[in-house]
Copies of this chain bind each other. A is one copy, B any other.
Amino acid sequence: MTYQAPYKDMQLLVAQAYQQQGLDACESLDGFDPELANAVMEEAAKFATGVLAPLNAVGDVQGCRFEDGKVITPDGWRDAYQQFAESGWIGLALPEAFGGQGLPKYIAQPVNEMWLSANLAFVMFQALAQGGSEILLNFANKSIQERYLPNIVSGDWTVAMALTEPNAGSDLGALNTKAIPQADNTYKIKGQKIFITYGDHDLTDNIAHLVLARTPDAPAGSRGISLFIVPKYRVGDDGALGEFNDVRCTGMEHKMGLHGSPTCSISYGDQDDCIGELVGELNQGLQAMFVLMNEARLSCGLQGVALGELGYQRALEYAQERTQGANSEGEKVAIVEHADVKRMLLEMRSETFALRALGYQIAAQIDATEAAHDSSKKDRVALLTPIFKAFATERANVMAGQVVQVFGGMGFVEETGVAQIMRDARVTTIYEGTTGIQARDLMFRKVRGDQGRTVTELLAEITRLIQPFEADDEFASMATETQLVVTKVTSLLDSHLLNLNADHDGLLAVSVPFLEAMGILCCTWQIFNVLAYQQTQDTVDEPYMQNIKALAAFYGAYRLPCALAALKVVENAGLGLSKYKF
């Protein structure tokens, strides 16, 4: 079996996010309703299942090759890219003014999820096109926009994001690539970058590199970083391709996973002939890059959902086919009947479902912010972004391990294809900011940054949502447990998280457990939210909802207790940590 889009979940969660975020009231979204979303999803599903999914194993087995200074993508990649671009999928959520279809994010979200499930390594160019376009729209001058955006939106050119240097990873302030101003307002770029996804490839004629670099008189550290657009081939005033811009691929990483996605080292200006243009203000490069970074972080979270779904589908299929042991009548049974296998499947299913719900709500919140020119939801999105990014990817790693476990010995054998899920997933907790970076962002910027206002509003909303369930036959105890978590977070805000006298390192050392607790709480919140939403609907798919209720009960029983444990760890902040001498 190949990947199948999980329609029912997607349709439910898309419609729910649309209504709950008030998108039906946004004039600018007229026509972009869930009905359209369903039609788009149907087309996307065909493409994901028919074209992208079959290439996933090909990409893993063949990988990209680096020959004579050029990256060659796996068999079938070029054709698939051509079709992908021609079908307009790259510009799906990009502005019509530059050739895109201008769809809101809440519709793009399930579509992107399908691409990521079907073939993560292939489709990594998509988030780069999306994020790169948003940088150019927000920061680049009109000339750059006009020369680059139509080509990016159409897929004629791809975008690469060149941040990391050997000594500047999480600490971008340490980077050294130089940008020397020229008389014509351009800059000569010189430096070495590593870990550049799709930094070189054979899919398109040109690649627009967004490069972080320093001008000669720039301040040290992160305040002296500017952003430049540096094409592989120069771009004339009319947008026509010019000569080679001295952007050389010097190598490609041999990675544990994502073999089909080229991760390149690039040398800019090796022959002193690499020209870039400034994007945005001088020394404000990180600010611009954060637009792309936020986009990329949300995309990472969605990768977690997508890999969770893919893994769940593979594990379920195998568990339904593979027989081991017998029931009390002595009949052979499929391992899906074994309670422990069922537990693993339901852990995957319930958490993927809840994280999908969270991801779709975030997308709709961004739409609401943009459509209503109302920034009230911005802080909520900012709070949820690190949680979604880090928790979804951490859980995807756990789930990918569970998929292999369900397959048993066969899972360890590469031909089964599930080892690939685990290998591919491994980097998602690292790139676009490690889990540690997300947890610090959550704890210090997002929670402490506004003295706990945004997180307190979220906690209050969760309390309001679950209150009615405290009288519910089925979910009373889960609601009570959830409220315990909310109460505990609230008290930790006072005692630890907002306490400026608390030991900084001690808090940092429990930032990941705190994020984990918030992740579980957000999943629980989303599950209650679906239950509540369904109660307001006239027509309900009864068997499907019974399953959702079973998932909800399961999540409350099996995963929710871990939130309190993680908060207990937060309470113990720093114990033993500083006393140990390595």
Q: Is A569 an interface residue (CB 8 A)?
A: yes
Q: Is A236 an interface residue (CB 8 A)?
A: no
With contacts A256-B412, A316-B582 known, is A577 near B338, CB below 8 A?
no
Chain B residues within 8 Å of A543, by CB? 581
**A340 touches which of B404, B405, B512, B555 (Cβ 8 Å):** B512
Interface positions of A from 316 to 332, Cβ below 8 Å from B: 316, 320, 323-326, 332
The number of chain A residues with a CB under 8 A from chain B is 91
B residues near A574, Cβ cutoff 8 Å = 339
Q: How many copies does the complex hold?
A: 2
A156 → B minimal CB distance (Å): 29
Assess the B579–A324 pair: CB atoms within 8 A.
Answer: no
Complex contact A557–B581 (CB within 8 A): no
Give the residue name and chain of the B residue nearest to A404 (CB). B426
CB contact under 8 A between A346 and B316, given known A256-B412, A324-B169, A409-B431: no
Contact A343 B509 (CB under 8 A): yes
* Given A546-B579, A580-B550, A339 contacting B508 (CB threshold 8 A): yes
A67 within 8 A of B: no
CA A1 – CA B336 in complex, angstroms? 45
| A551 contacts B by Cβ under 8 Å | yes
**Selected interface stretch from A211-219, A273-281, A435-443, A459-467:** A435-443
Separation of A401 and B436 alpha carbons in the complex (Å): 14
Q: Point out the residue from B413, B572, B576 that lies within 8 Å of A346, measured CB to CB.
A: B576
CB contact under 8 A between A408 and B569, given known A554-B575, A577-B339: no
Contact call A577/B342, Cβ cutoff below 8 A: yes
A37 to B415, CA, bound (A): 44
Chain B residues with Cβ under 8 A from A561's Cβ?
A: 565-566, 568-569, 572
| Those of A331-352 within 8 Å (CB) of chain B | 332, 336, 338-343, 345-346, 349
Kindly provide the distance from the CB of A250 to the nearest chain B CB, expressed in whole angstroms.
15
Q: Is the CB of A397 within 8 A of B408?
A: no
A429 at the interface (CB under 8 A from B): yes
Q: Taking chain A's interface residues, is the majority helix, strand, or loop, or is none over half, making it mixed?
A: helix
Closest residue on chain B to residue A416 by CB atoms = B256
Instruction: Flag whether A177 is at the interface (Cβ < 8 A).
Output: no
**Are B414 and A324 in contact, with the CB atoms below 8 A?**
no
In whole angstroms, what is the CA distance A511 to B320 when docked? Answer: 21
A556 touches B575 (CB 8 A): yes
With contact pairs A325-B170, A401-B397, A562-B562 given, residues A440 and B340 touching in the complex (Cβ less than 8 Å): yes
Given A174-B332, A405-B434, A554-B576, 16 other A-B residues pairs in contact with their CB atoms under 8 A: A169-B409, A170-B324, A170-B325, A171-B324, A171-B325, A256-B413, A336-B582, A338-B508, A339-B509, A339-B577, A343-B509, A343-B512, A349-B580, A397-B401, A405-B436, A409-B431
Q: Could you tell me which A residues sit within 8 Å of B by CB distance? A: 164, 167, 169-171, 174, 195, 253-257, 316, 320, 323-326, 332, 336, 338-343, 345-346, 349, 397, 401, 404-405, 408-409, 411-415, 419, 422-423, 426-427, 429-431, 434-436, 439-440, 505-513, 543, 546-547, 549-558, 561-562, 564-566, 568-569, 572, 574-577, 579-582
- 21 CB contacts below 8 A, A to B, read A170-B408, A171-B326, A253-B413, A255-B412, A316-B582, A339-B507, A339-B574, A339-B577, A340-B512, A342-B509, A343-B577, A345-B582, A405-B430, A408-B430, A412-B427, A553-B579, A554-B575, A554-B576, A556-B575, A564-B568, A565-B565
